[in-house]
């Protein structure tokens, strides 16, 4: 099955401000005992979304009803730093977030996200602030991440975005999942094997 070509993504956004938001804050280590990644979404930012004493919701942006259903996350610099756990982008995706806009990203987090088909767009701090302000004013504001044009459109405004060339190429050409590409090639491998006498004989 061919991978989807991801050329643009649109949705409502939610801002989780801050720099150096690490993978342990994104998904605490104690929730990483799962056999599969299913269900990780409920633990996204758990230790800051829940009061450690009462277990009740805090005033974290993801708990704000105005932003329920948002699919684009806005944040600051060095997002996804810390450990290399792939559970972090998995938790983000399983929560329902399809893309992250930040000033920049930690290297391994970036790679793990792209292999999930999740575009990560870098934008200037002041431009992210403009998007966040528009979303705060009207949570229904549609934010469009144009992977091809490398721009973000919202509330009648457009700001530039940077998506690494290799990641951009993989997304828009449907080559973002290496394992998926390998599986897509299985039929061709079997056809080639039939033509090789030392394999056909066995």
Dmax (CA) of the chain: 70
Handedness of CA 125, 105, 115, 33 (dihedral sign): negative
pLDDT by residue for the chain (202 residues), tens digit each?
A: 468 999 999 999 999 999 999 999 999 988 887 777 888 899 999 999 999 888 899 999 999 999 999 999 999 999 999 988 899 999 999 999 999 999 999 999 999 999 999 999 999 999 999 999 999 999 999 999 999 999 999 999 999 999 999 999 999 999 888 777 677 777 888 888 888 887 765 5
- Contact call for residues 179 and 156 (beta carbons, < 8 A): no
What's the residue count for the chain? 202
pLDDT tens digits, residue range 33-43?
777 788 889 99
Helix axes 87-95, 107-114, angle to 10 degrees: 50
Looking at the domain covering 8-176, what would its CATH class be? alpha beta
């Amino acid at each position: 099955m061919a991978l989807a070509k991801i050329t643009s993504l649109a949705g409502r956004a939610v801002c989780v401000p801050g720099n150096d938001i690490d993978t342990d804050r994104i998904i605490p280590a104690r929730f990483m005992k799962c056999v599969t990644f299913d269900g990780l979404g409920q633990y996204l930012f758990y230790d800051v979304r829940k009061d450690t004493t009462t277990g009740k919701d805090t005033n974290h942006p993801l708990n704000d009803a105005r932003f329920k259903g948002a699919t684009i996350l806005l944040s600051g610099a060095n997002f996804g730093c810390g450990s290399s756990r792939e559970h972090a982008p998995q938790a983000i995706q399983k929560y329902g977030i399809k893309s992250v806009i930040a000033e920049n990203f930690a290297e391994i987090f970036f790679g793990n996200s792209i292999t999930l088909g999740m575009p990560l767009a870098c934008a200037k701090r002041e431009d992210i602030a403009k998007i966040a302000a528009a979303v705060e004013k009207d949570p229904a504001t549609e934010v469009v991440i144009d992977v091809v044009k490398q721009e973000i459109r919202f509330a009648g405004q457009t700001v530039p975005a940077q998506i690494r060339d290799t990641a951009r190429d993989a997304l828009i050409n449907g080559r973002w999942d290496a394992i998926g590409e390998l599986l897509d090639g299985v039929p061709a491998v079997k056809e080639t094997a039939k033509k090789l006498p030392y394999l056909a004989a066995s």
